[in-house]
A and B are shown apart, each in its own frame.
Chain A
Amino acid sequence: EVQLVESGGGLVQPGGSLRLSCAASGFSLSDHYIDWVRQAPGKGLEWVGRSRNKVNSYTTEYAASVKGRFTISRDDSNKSLYLQMKSLKTEDTAVYYCARAVAGPLQGFYYYYYMDVWGKGTAVTVSS
């Protein structure tokens, strides 16, 4: 069974750091893109960032709201992906989800990747 499990959430003070983990099972992590998506209390979904697969050199993309503060990394040997969060702000308070992204059919010269399996999320609270 394809599964993603997030962990590492908790309470942190503004300006602090936290590292979230996303453990993958039932598929080869190195072959897949992984997204991080967050949801502030009572709000909608917000894309945070993406890690491409090994074939694409694990390159990353980030939302403007977190660029320069958040970093996505991987440890394929441990079947895990990480979201390192620094300089946290109160507006980063949210449930954070990781999601596997898979390729759709080739369109022109490109594949476009959509999210198909989500973890259950881990809650992050930034507060003094």
Chain B
Amino acid sequence: DIQMTQSPSSLSASVGDRVTITCRASQGISNCLAWFQQKPGKAPKSLIHAASSLQSGVPSRFSGSGSGTDFTLTISCLQPEDFATYYCQEYNTYPLTFGGGTKVEI
């Protein structure tokens, strides 16, 4: 199974900050990497697929990059509604696997 390792597991930030979250796959997954945002008590929301393609309706302050084993999610100017937990997920190989999550808090 492919292991997805996210870092950091949590971070503290302020409104307006630039935030970067890293996700590393234990083996190459091409660009088959998605990012999700989840707020407490809510379902995950799709942000990015194919490592860097923004889902429809997602603000442009979110961006993704990477290929192979190393990926990043960047929030360019953190907004109050961005405080949440973020998960990466590979969809190259079964079983599909998620990273452990990164909690972005004030």
Contacts and interface: CB of A to CB of B under 8 A. Distances in A.
Interface in A27-60: 35, 37, 44-47, 50
Contact of B43 (A97, A101, A107, A112): A97
A106 B15 CA distance: 39
Contacts of A61: 94-95
Nearest to A121: B43
B45 A115 contact: no
Contacts of B76: none
B3 to A, nearest CB: 13
A105 B52 CA distance: 13
A97 B98 contact: no
B64 to A, nearest CB: 12
Contacts of B94: 50, 61
Given A45-B89, A112-B32, A118 B100 contact: no
B43 A118 contact: yes
Contacts of A97: 43-44
Main secondary structure of the interface of A (DSSP, over half): strand
Contacts of A114: 32, 34, 46, 49-50, 91
B74 interface: no
Contacts of B30: 107, 112
25 contacts: A35-B96, A44-B87, A44-B99, A45-B38, A45-B44, A45-B89, A45-B101, A47-B96, A50-B94, A62-B95, A64-B95, A97-B43, A97-B44, A99-B44, A105-B50, A112-B30, A112-B32, A112-B91, A114-B32, A114-B49, A116-B49, A117-B46, A118-B45, A119-B43, A120-B42
